[in-house]
Amino acid sequence: MPGMSTPSAAPGTFVLVLGGANMDIVASAPTLHAAESNPGRIGCSPGGVARNVAENLARLGHRVRLVALFGDDPFGTLLREATAAAGVDLALAPVVAGASTCSYLSLHGAGGDMATAVNDMALMDRLDPAWLAAQAAPGAPLAQALDRADAWVLDCNLRADALAWLLQRGRRGLRCVDAVSAHKAVRAGPLLAHVDLLKLNGFEAEALLGEPVRDEAAACAAALALVARGARQVVLSLGARGAAWAERGAPAPSGFAPAPPVDAAALRSTSGAGDALLAGLTHGRLAGWPLEAALRFAQGCAALTLQAYGANHPGLSVAAVQALRGTAPAQSAA
């Protein structure tokens, strides 16, 4: 953003991202008819909320370490190769012998919106408190990473008990959480007092609050309600309409930022847009930007991702986002 510094990847600084890594199988068709074979396009690309956020943060110039589990199958091999090629450190992301890599199958109709999806995340069950405790024994690499990271990004693909084990661990720095889905968002509900930044959508907010969130006013009210329940900052996305934000103790406690327009001809898929939003938010907060400024940068990250067939845009960068939004690239922090 103009006049604001961007975070630099100083020696020893990094973001620790923990959660899901899976292969995305995305099918899209201009028209969808139930119980019929619909002509369209099918693609396979790296995915998973935590993995997507990690890749996006690496593309935004951060040093990133991913904590996730991979199967020893072809999907796992492809995922690891693509993630490492994007600049993400996988030293804390082991391959599990005999396990199947997590996968996600989604079907998209006209305009790129998702019609339905199926996820196979059974491998995530192995990332439990016992595994975390063993990996984070005193002096172990994960213990050092947990203590030294400038930010954690967690997704609710993590088991509820694993999420609690992590968030209740005392630490410094920024703690960001992605709600992932309405079904999984409730895992974060009892832990909001330990969350610095919660990113979710209207359906996920409804699962946490029990109230429908369908318009801007309801989104702002829901974001404020989640702050009242303990989260320091909340960003609640309504997709193409924009996102509400709320912050505890801020002079302006909440607001709504319309999403930047994306040419319909350039729209490819909505997959990964929310993950790009969280990566952009984390980037901005690490730079010390106000939440609203971080959100507007993050919306640029999401807008770029909407123009990619996969869940990550290979051309994502700070300069690309600022050019999309019509701003000059900010100077790097000294």
- Does the residue 257 lie in any domain? yes
Q: If you average pLDDT over residues 126-139, what whole number do you get?
A: 96
Residue 28 pLDDT class (50, 70, 90 cuts): confident
Please give, one letter per residue, the 3-state secondary structure of 115-148.
EEEEEECHHHHHCCHHHHHHHCCCCCHHHHHHHH
At residue 133, the pLDDT reads 97
Looking at per-residue confidence, does 264 or 93 come out higher? 93
Assess if residue 152 is contained within a domain: yes
Average predicted confidence (pLDDT) for the chain? 91
Q: What CATH number did the domain enclosing 241 receive?
A: 3.40.1190.20
For residues 297-325, average pLDDT:
91
Tell me the whole-structure pTM to 2 decimals. 0.90
Q: Can you give the residue range of the structural domain that contains 117?
A: 15-324
Whether the predicted pLDDT of 165 surpasses 90? yes
Task: Write down the pLDDT at residue 12.
Answer: 58
- Residues with Cβ within 8 Å of 147's Cβ and at least 6 positions away in sequence, in order, are 171
Asked, for residue 3, whether it belongs to a domain, the answer is no
pLDDT score of 334 more than 50: no
193 vs 1 pLDDT, higher one = 193
For residue 99, the model assigns a pLDDT of 96
Tokens linked to 102: 């997590």
The label of the residue with tokens 């690499």 reads 141
**Higher pLDDT residue, 269 or 10?**
269
DSSP tally for the chain: helices H, then strands E: 11, 15
pLDDT surpasses 80 at 111? no
Q: Whats the size of the chain, residue-wise? A: 334
Q: Looking at the predicted structure, is the pLDDT value of residue 320 above 80?
A: yes
Q: Residue 44 forms beta bridges with which residues?
A: 25
Is pLDDT of 8 > 70? no
| Segment 261-276, tens digit of pLDDT | 887 777 787 778 999 9
Q: Which residues pair with 102 in a beta bridge?
A: 22
Q: Is the pLDDT of residue 5 over 60?
A: no
Report d(CA 19, CA 154) in Å as an integer: 6
Q: What does the block give as tokens for 179?
A: 């709600």
Domain count for the chain, please give it: 1
**Above 70 in pLDDT, residue 257?**
yes
The reply to whether 333 falls in a domain is no
24 or 220, which is more confident?
220
Euclidean distance between CA atoms 307 and 241, whole angstroms: 17
* Opening angle at CA 121, ends 167 and 130, nearest 5: 45
Residues facing 46 on adjacent strands? 23
Q: What pLDDT band is residue 110 in, cutting at 50, 70 and 90?
A: confident
* pLDDT one-digit tens code per residue, 234-254: 999 999 999 999 999 988 899
In a domain, 1, yes or no: no
Name the amino acid, one letter, at 217.
Answer: A
pLDDT tens figures, 205-242:
999 999 999 999 999 999 999 999 999 999 999 999 99
Give a yes or no: residue 330 inside a domain: no
- Let me know if residue 93 belongs to a domain: yes
Give me the sign of the Cα torsion angle 77, 80, 84, 85: positive
| 169 is a domain residue | yes
